[in-house]
Structure 1
Amino acid sequence: MSTQIVDSLDSFINAYIDLAGDDKRELQTDFDADWPSPCLLATDDELALLADGDSTTWRPHLQAASTHLGDLAKALEINIHPDLETLFCRYYSHDLPAVTDRGELDILQAWNEDDFERLQKNLISHVLMKRRLKQAETLFFATTDQEDFIIVMDVASGKVMLEQVGKVPKEVLADDLPSFIQTLRPRDLVLTF
């Protein structure tokens, strides 16, 4: 794990939390007893009093050091770039809204272990689609405000690219993931998920 990706991601997460703290706002989510997360800030006693749909506070939560994408790499027989592994394995969180000079996006994150498994299955499906189309393999990590466009990392080069789903990516957004994350700003919007 490179310190550059950790520093970039932690800086973005801290800016995101700071934004939520402005004007006494909190990161809010609707409680779902069937979808627990270490991100929830309520105590077990407080959670026991919540009904599904009640609003509760949350924060990105550091994952255990044992979380990794090794099963994904093994299933696809590819090497997962350590920066991308850090992006997906450092925190549990809701997706993180961000803005760049080009527009808005959401950095994909996992809310809990089950969500982490679902994310890996979606990444496998994406790579299998790329193979079926005989295109260079990419792994997505963000959605954009443009329909059918995602932000991906090229598996071979580690470059961050804009990709229209099902098409060969043509535009390089950054030479690496830490550089790309450094360009992001948390999106100032209603912070309820």
Structure 2
Amino acid sequence: MDQAVREAMDSFIQKVLIQSQEAQIQLLVDFDPEWPSLCYLQEENIGEKVRWQPVKQQKPATWHDFEKALDLTLHPSISAFYQCYWSDNLPAKHTSGKLELIQVWNEADFARLQQNLIGHILMKRRLKQAETIFFALTEEEDFILSINNSSGEVVLEQIGLEPTKVIAPDMASFLLSIEPVIAA
């Protein structure tokens, strides 16, 4: 697993927790017993806001079936990114704008992410474009941040088109360049 990405994610999560604590803002999510997660810090009635926080994956989710189905080896940095924490999506800001890091809440969410990524990869292949793996949403509709699976570069791409801009040379340096956005 890409240790630099793991350390950068640890650093970002620490910033999230410190920032929310300093601002005295709790991380809240609607409670859903049908959507269990180790992230819940409390359990309430369905739909009520409850406290949560990112939790390290003790047994990282696996990409084996995903890679086998697509006859593809994922870039180590994207594997490491999605295997670090169970978490709700995390808002952040970068010099190029606001974004939301896509995270996985539980194993079912990880399976759903893999299905979405399979569709994304198949679309890229059909369009004869470089294979990318998305990991963040941007403020601009239809634009996502992805990893170029061959080079490991963080790129900005409009869905269905080739990436238009390299944002960072690698995932670890990108993660170290962003700041969390904690809102009440």
TM-score > 0.5, shorter chain as reference: yes
Residue of structure 2 equivalent to 1:53: 47
Residue of structure 1 equivalent to 2:138: 144
Corresponding residue SS for 1:24: coil
Residue of structure 2 equivalent to 1:92: 86
Alignment of 1:61-140 (within 5 A): 61-140=55-134
- In the TM superposition, what is the alpha-carbon distance from 1:78 to its structure 2 partner? 1.0
Q: Deviations over 1:87-106 (max 9, x none)?
A: 10110000010001111001
Residue of structure 2 equivalent to 1:189: 183
- In the TM superposition, what is the alpha-carbon distance from 1:66 to its structure 2 partner? 4.2
- Unpaired runs of 5+ residues, structure 1, are none
Residue of structure 2 equivalent to 1:24: 24
Residue of structure 2 equivalent to 1:10: 10
TM superposition score normalised by structure 2: 0.96
- In the TM superposition, what is the alpha-carbon distance from 1:64 to its structure 2 partner? 2.5
Residue of structure 2 equivalent to 1:161: 155
Corresponding residue SS for 2:135: strand
Q: Deviations over 1:36-93 (max 9, x none)?
A: 1110012xxxx3xx21111211010111334221221111111111111111011000
Count residues in correspondence: 184
RMSD over aligned Cα atoms? 1.1
Residue of structure 2 equivalent to 1:40: 40
Q: Deviations over 1:113-156 (max 9, x none)?
A: 11010001000000001011111111100010001100011111
Q: Kindly report structure 1 stretches of 4+ aligned residues shifted beyond 3 Å.
A: none
Percent of paired sites with the same residue:
42
Output the amino acid matched with 1:52. I
Give, in whole Å, the separation in 2 of the partners of 1:39 and 1:52.
Answer: 16
TM superposition score normalised by structure 1: 0.92
